[in-house]
Structure 1
Amino acid sequence: MKPEAAHQADDDAAARRRVVVDLGMRSYDILIGPGLVDAAGEEIARRLPGVRAAVVTDETVAGLHLDRLSIALRAAGIDHSTVVLPAGEPTKSFEHLTRVVDAVLAQRLERDDAVIALGGGVVGDLAGFASAIARRGMRFVQMPTTLLAQVDSSVGGKTGINSPRGKNLIGAFHQPALVLADTALLDTLSPREFAAGYAEIVKYGLIDRPEFFDWLERSREAIFAGGPERAEAIRQSCEAKAAVVAVDEREHAGRALLNLGHTFGHALEAAVGYDSRRLVHGEGVAIGMTLAYRFSTELGLCPAADAGRGEAHLRAAGLPTRIAEIPGGPLSTAQLMTGIAQDKKVKRGHLTFILTRGIGQAFVESDVAPAAVEAFLDRELAR
C-alpha cells in the first residue's frame, strides 16, 4: 500500500463509529464511516474466519463498487462468487429469490459461510431472506449503499420480498453477523435518493427522540452537504433502532413504533405498483408520516403545530408530504384501504396504526376504526 493510501486508511478508520445491536449470543456490530468497502475483507475475516461468500448486488451498484469489494475480499483470502440482479423494487420477487438461493447452493456454500448484500434496501432484504432459507439459515453481512438502507433496512434482521398483495409480506427475521455502512458511498446517490433516505432519519426523531428532531432541524443542511453531521445522524439513527430491536426483536410490541408512517406509505407504494418513477420507499414514508401526524391531529391527539412542524421539515428536505404530489394519476381511497388491510400489523382484522401526541410522542393504537381512516383519506385525496 502506498504511503498516501495508508494514511487515508488510517484517517478513515479514525473517523468510524460503532454501534452494537445487543442480542446476546447473536449480537453484532454496525460500523459507520468512510473506507469500509476497502476494509470489508479484513472486517469480515476477523469476525468470520475461514468464511466463503456469495456477494449479492444489483447492476447499478456493481458498476460503482463491486470491483473494490472483490479486491478487498481477495486480499483477506475470502473466496467468493457474485450474483448481479436488476436494480429496482420489482427485484424483490420469488423469481430473483430463487436465483440467489440457487447460486448459493451451486457454489456449495455451507451454513457457516455467508451471503454478503452490497446494495440498498432491495438487495439487503432479498439477500437476507435468501440467507435465512438457504440450508435453513446461513450467515449474512449487510453492506448498505444507500442512506435509507444504512439507517433502517440493514439493521434489525427484517428480510423479505414483496407480494402482489403488499410490500414485504413474505420473509423472515434473520439478523446479520455484521453491518458495514460506508458513508463515502453516499456521494454517488442522486439528490432524490438521498432525500428519500433522510426521511427514515427524521422518523427516529418523530417517534420518541424530540431532541434528535431538534438537532436535525439545526443540522439538516450540513447532513446533506456531507459534513461530520452526516455520519453522526447515521450513528444516532442506528443507535435508536438498535435500542428498540434489542428489546423487541420480532415486533411483538414496541418495535412496531419503527413503522411510523409505513402503514400509509406501504399502501401508497402498492397502489402505484412499486413504480419508482412515481414513488420510492422513503418518499412514501415521508407522505405516510405526515398523514399519521395529520390523522392524529384530526383525532384530537396531536397539536396541529407539531404536525405542521414535521411536515415543514420534510418539505425543506425536498420530500413530498401530500398524496397529490405523487405523479401519474389519482389514487383512490379504495386502493389505499386495500393496501392498509394487508399491513403486517393488522391483527384479527383490527387496524393498527402508529399515532402520535406530538413530536417524539408516537404510540401504537391497535384498534383504529376503518371508517375513520376512510373518511380521513377521502379528505386527503380531495386536497
Structure 2
Amino acid sequence: MFTRKLLYQATAPSIPISGSVYCGFDPTAHSLHLGNFVSILNLARLAQIGFKPIAIVGGATVQLGDPSFKMEERKEPDLVVIQENLQKIRNQLESVYGNIANHGKIGQPLQILDNMDFYRETKLIDFVSKVGRQFRMNSLLNKDHINKRLNSGDDGLSLTEFFYTILQSYDFAYLNEKYNCTLQIGGSDQWGNITNGCDFVKKQYKKQVYGITTPLLIDKNGQKFGKSEGNALFLDVSSKHNMKQYLLNLADDSIKDFLLMLTFLKEDQINSIMEQHKQNPEKRIAQKCLNDELMKMIYGEENSAEKNQILYGLKRDRLLNMSAAEFEKLAEEIDKDVVIRVSKQTALIEVLLKIRSSKSEIRRLLQQGGILINDQKVDQLDQAQLLHDKYMLLRIGKRDVRLLIFI
C-alpha cells in the first residue's frame, strides 16, 4: 500500500479527525531531504481532511540523538551549528509546506515549534520525577530500535540516546495538552518512539491519542534515504540538479509508487500517465511528470523537466557554430543550477569533483566513454577545449548535462 492510502485508511474511521497532527524534524543537517518531504506532504494531506498541522523542529531532541535503527551513537553536536541548521530548516518547512499548500489548494497553515521551548524552564528533578516514573524499563528495552542497539556491539546504548524516546514522548504529551494534538506521524523507523508517546499520554492524561507510520522512501538498493545513510537527496536549492537527475532516472518499475507517494495526482490520472509511459518508455513521460510535480512543491518551479531539454539536443556541429551571444542567451534560458561559472584557473577535474563523488568514478567514466565535452567523447581531461575561450558543454553519462562558463 502507498502512503496516501495508509493515511486515509488509518484516519477514517478508526482515528477521529479532530485537533492537531504533528511530525518532528531534528536539525541534524543544513537541509531537509526527500524522505522528510514525504512527512511534510503527509501533514498537508491530513490538513486537507481536517487536522491542524504542526511541525516540531527538534532543538532539544537533536542534542540527544535519535538511536532508532542507528548502528552507532551520533557525535556530540555543535550548538552553534544546531542553531544555524534549525533556522534553515524552519525556513525550509515554511517554504516547502507553502508550495505544497498552494499546489494542493490547502487553506490550513503549518504551525512550526521548537521543542527546546518545552524544556527551557524545566527543572531536572521535577521532570524525572513526573515523567520518568511513567516509563518502565522492561517495556523500553523490548522496543526493536533500542534492543538492536543494545546488542549491536561493545558500545551499546548511552543514557543520552536512551532518554531521546522519553523526550519525544513528552513532546506528544505537551502538544496534546497545549494544542489538542491527537495524532503523531512519521516514517516506519519511528514506530517505537511514537507508540511510547501514545502510551505516555494515556498514562499521564488518561487520553486516547494515535500514531501513524508510513513506509520509508528507499533507494534502488533498499536503503532508506537519509543523512546517516549517505544517500540523502537534500531539498535545498543547491541540490536541485541532483534531485532532478535522480527523479528523471528512476526505474520504470518504481515510478508508479513514487507518483502515488509523492504527488496529489489522483489514481486514475496516474494510471493514465503510466499507460502513456508504457507506449513510449524512452520518452520517460512518468519520470518527467513526477519531476515537474515535485519541483512545483519543493521549489515552486513550473515546467522544470522541459526547461533544460535544449541542452540535450545540442550536437557538435551546432555547438561549434554558436556565437558567444548565443551561449549567453542559453545560460539565461536554462536552469541556473545547470550553469557552472568558474575561474579560468580552475582545473576541469575540480569542476567534476563538485558533480561526482570521487576521482575513481571520474576515471571510470573516462575509460567507458561516459564523459563528453562539446558533444565529443574524451578519455583525457586535458583534451577539453573551450568555445570562444569561455564556454564548454559537459555531458556526464546519459542524462547529466552542464554548461560551464570560465571567467
Q: TM-score range by the shorter chain?
A: under 0.3
More strand, by proportion: 1
The structure with the largest alpha-carbon Rg is 2
User: TM-score when scaled to structure 1?
Assistant: 0.28
TM-score by length of 2: 0.27
